[in-house]
Amino acid sequence: MDLYDWLLFLHVLSAFLAVGALTALWALVLSSRGATPTLAPASAMRFGQTAGIVVGIGMMGAIIFGIWLAIDVDGYELWDPWILISIVIWAISGSAGGQAGKAFATGTPEGRRAGIRYQAVNSVGLFVILLLMIWKPGA
């Protein structure tokens, strides 16, 4: 395996971590609806904190190895529109993810509603980045 192989593997694995843990967080949101949620609040909080940390690790890995790839690969530049747009969306998405964690941590119904909104922004952002990574418009 050469450097390109390692970078691509770690970039994609990080993306899987981020989207995977975000999927787990949506499962948590769905299961904690209503008057009798499936999980006790303490368990839900622990689950959410752990999955949130994994989302953060995945997003950091994806951007670090992604930028490294863009520098390493001859055909790509950091200022290619699809890469630049992805980096901007990643920043917005990451910020929303951080806000979601803070909102959920308040443990209030208002915090939960705000957390869901921020998590939706985070998810849509990662979804759009996935589309850009597959289609690579302009590449």
Partner 1 sequence: MSVLASIRPDEVNFPLFLHVFGAMLLVGTLFAVALATVLAWRRPDDAVGLTRFSLLTLLMGVLPAYILMRIGAQWTESQENFPDDFDPTWLGIGYITADAGALLVLISLILGAVGLRKLRSGSGGVGFGRAVGVICILLLAAYVVAVWAMTTKPT
List interacting residues with partner 1 (CB under 8 A).
Answer: 1, 4-5, 8-9, 12-13, 15-16, 19-24, 27-28, 31, 38-40, 42-43, 46-47, 50-51, 54, 72-76, 130-131, 134-136, 139
Distance from C-alpha of 42 to C-alpha of 71, rounded to nearest angstrom: 44
CA 28, CA 14: separation in Å to the nearest integer? Answer: 21
Q: Name the burial class of residue 56, with classes exposed (0-12), middle (13-18) and buried (19+) by CB atoms within 10 angstroms of its CB.
A: middle
Token readout for 137 is 């418009």
**CB 132, CB 86: distance < 8 Å:** yes
Q: Work out how close the CB of 17 gets to partner 1 at its nearest, in angstroms, rounded to a whole number.
A: 8
- Indicate the residue among 110 and 136 with the shorter CB distance to partner 1: 136
- When the beta carbons of 14 and 110 are compared against partner 1, the nearer one is 14
Q: How far is the CB of 1 from partner 1 (least distance, A)?
A: 6
Is residue 22 classed exposed, middle or buried when 0-12, 13-18 and 19+ CB atoms within 10 A define those classes?
A: buried
Of 5 and 110, which has the nearer Cβ to partner 1? Answer: 5
Nearer to partner 1 (CB atom), residue 13 or residue 110: 13
